[in-house]
Homo-oligomer: A and B are copies of this chain.
Amino acid sequence: MSQKGKIGIVGSGLIGRSWAMLFAGSGFNVSLYDIVGDNVDKALLDIKAQLNNLEANGLLRGQTKANEQFSLIRKADTLDDCLQNAIHVQECVFEDIELKKKVFEELDKIASDEVVLCSSTSCFLPSLFAEPLKHRNQVIVGHPVNPPYFVPLVEIIPTKWTDENITKRTRALFTQIGQKPVVLKKEVPGFIVNRIQYAILSECYRLIDDNVITVEDVDTVMSDGLGMRYAFMGPWETCHLNALGMKEYFEKYAQGIHDVCMDSGPVPKMGGKTADLIVEAMTQKTSIEKLPERRKWRDERLIALSQLKKKLDG
């Protein structure tokens, strides 16, 4: 076993594979489990191909070769096997609350008192599956952004029972593998990523619903305007630099921001004619059959941006 320790991964889909590559890239042993054992065999083949491909394109993370990284990833035949001596378990099963509850009950039965029990869920408050567990003080969420190999953010959400030390260890581990963790101080629906995303979607939906702008144009406002800044700076730093500092920004614009937001109307229910219009515009831009090709287009850009940011930040 490597000196860094062992990570258990439960679920061998896209997210499970990404985590496996990230952990192995930083020298951790990875034990990959799936309720359907054959899925792990497929996942291992795919991981091997991905790592070789990343290496061939100069995109491999970590200090070791692709085959060394791959050799750290093993199939676990049982959940016990996956957890044994693990310092951290990353759950990556399908997003279904009953399934999550079941998996965490199973984990709870065999978990040591030390291991971090971390879910990758993007949508379920961890207390929903942590509450009845005897190890609930070890449960936490580490929600990555797709594709995690190139978009480093991970949002960490402890429950009210989570030990402070578990939160610290989770943040330190994600930092160690080169991701950018942020920690929520309490559980809120949607966490942070989706709360911000949904605030944007709601405003954009209203603007289309009110016939102010087309679907294509509202996307352009982001991709050729606001979004270019946000690739490097958060909303507060954007303001700090656009004004003579944040203090002046609030003095000058707080009232205007309030007035504009008050003009925005209630939270929209997305459906009906306006939703159809958005579906139509998007499908016209990229048909369902062409989605994989366009995702490749997106990932190429995220890869290039990730390389650019690394180069600029030294």
Contact = CB atoms under 8 A, between A and B. Distances in A.
Contact of A298 (B151, B194, B232, B234): B232
Contacts of A235: 197, 200-201, 204, 218-219, 222
Nearest to A156: B217
A259 to B, nearest CB: 7
**Oligomeric state, in copies:** 2
A91 B172 CA distance: 52
Contact of A192 (B213, B230, B234, B259): B213
B254 A258 contact: no
Contacts of A222: 196, 230, 233-235
A145 B225 CA distance: 6
A300 interface: yes
A53 interface: no
Interface residues of A, number: 103
A183 interface: yes
Interface stretch (A5-13, A57-65, A133-141, A264-272): A264-272
A224 B279 contact: no
Interface in A213-239: 213, 215, 217-239
